[in-house]
Amino acid sequence: MKSKFRHVALIGKYQTGVSGACVTSSRGVMQDVAHFLNAQGCEIALEQETARNMGITHFPELNAADIGAQCDLGLVVGGDGTMLGIGRQLAQFGVPLIGINQGRLGFITDIPFDNFQSTLAPMLYGEFEEDHRSLIHARVMREGQCVFDALAMNDVVVNRGATSGMVELRVEVDGHFVANQRADGLIIATPTGSTAYSLSAGGPLLHPSIPGWVLVPIAPHTLSNRPIVLANAAEIAIEVVAGRDASASFDMQSLASLLHGDRIVVTRSVHHVRFLHPKGWSYFDTLRQKLHWNEGVA
What residues act catalytically? 80
Does residue 156 sit in helix, strand or coil? strand
List for the chain the helix, strand, coil content (%; round to 5): 25, 40, 35
Distance CA 34, CA 72 (A): 15
H/E segment holding residue 38? helix 20-39
CB 159 within 8 A of CB 247: yes
Does residue 138 sit in helix, strand or coil? strand
Alpha carbon 104 to chain centroid, angstroms: 15
| Amino acid present at 145 | Q
Residue 189 CB neighbours (<10 A): 28
CB 86 within 8 A of CB 96: no
